[in-house]
Amino acid sequence: MKVVVNQQELELKEPMTLEKIAESLSIHDAMFATVNGRMRELSYVLFTDAKVEFRNLESHSGMRIYEATLRYVFAKAVYEIDPSLKIRFSYSISRAILATIDNKEFSTELYDQILSKVREIIARKEDIKRISVTKEEATELYTKQGYLDKIETLKLRQENHVNLYQSGSYINYMFSYMLPNTSYLTIFDAKFYHPGFLIFFPRAELMGKLPEFVDQKHLVNLLKKLTSGVRSLVEIPLQISINIVKLETDK
């Protein structure tokens, strides 16, 4: 089997994962690869001749795969600490992920617990495998985990099968491709930030480096003031129109 990798030709005697091919060529920064122009996870197995190009964190797709895997590991960490806790992610602060806990008051103690558990999971080099299950099986899983919002999403899905990612006993659905194991997550940072904490991941626009923290609370306050101003402007013509109606009624 002939494989051209980054313009270098290889002869493979048996099927091999993209991860193993990257390792054999000492490519240590690969996040995914294109195979004959199609995007593939590093766990993808090559069976036939192909043209392969590996991509790293300097690509936006590589960055998104890294980010998704990092979110997955943080969610797994929270689940291992307490399966009843519900973590939520958003993207609004300083080019970082804002993580909050929905059903428990967040504290520095819980923050330290989560970070410690994340580092432990990464050190364990746990495999992350994609599995395919039926909608019924996924619904049963989400019911046990209390993910009622995901059950509602499944009802809208036309296909009968759902792709999930499993690491140990933890299973979750991700909207992105993933890295093959947790040990790839060597670059990240976190910061306690009310009402939760920030997770910093390598940015493609920074050539795979972490962004600097910029406190954006002043922007939140500015938006509140602008919103308040808009409400005032709306109330003025509303008051005028009410007065006009009253005058016309008096006539």
Do 123 and 7 belong to one domain? no
Q: Say which residue the tokens 């806790």 belong to.
A: 85
Residue 95: inside a domain? yes
Check if the beta carbon of residue 152 is closer than 8 Å to that of residue 182: no
Non-local CB neighbours of 39 within 8 Å, separated by 6+ positions: 32, 33, 61, 177
Report the CATH number at residue 32. Answer: 3.10.20.30
Do 79 and 50 belong to one domain? no
Find residue 54's DSSP bridge partners.
33
Q: How many helices (H) and strands (E) does the chain have?
A: 6, 14
Do 30 and 95 belong to one domain? no
Report the CATH number at residue 70. Answer: 3.30.980.10
Residue 12: inside a domain? yes
Do 110 and 198 belong to one domain? yes
Check if the beta carbon of residue 211 is closer than 8 Å to that of residue 200: yes
Do 110 and 194 belong to one domain? yes
pLDDT string in tens for the chain (251-residue length)? 999 998 889 999 999 999 999 999 999 999 999 999 999 999 999 999 999 999 999 999 999 999 999 999 999 999 999 999 999 998 778 899 999 999 899 999 999 999 999 999 999 999 999 999 998 898 888 888 777 777 887 888 888 888 899 999 999 988 889 999 999 999 999 999 989 999 999 999 999 999 999 887 665 455 445 544 543 344 333 333 333 333 333 43
Do 183 and 124 belong to one domain? yes
Do 117 and 183 belong to one domain? yes
Do 25 and 117 belong to one domain? no
CA dist., res. 190 & res. 200, Å (int): 6
Rounded to two decimals, what is the model's pTM?
A: 0.83
Instruction: Show the domain range for 35.
Output: 2-56
CA dist., res. 209 & res. 196, Å (int): 23
DSSP assignments along 158-207, one per residue: -SSEEEEEEETTEEE--SS---SBGGG----EEEEETTEEEEE--BGGGT
| Number of domains the chain is built from | 2
Residue 156: inside a domain? no
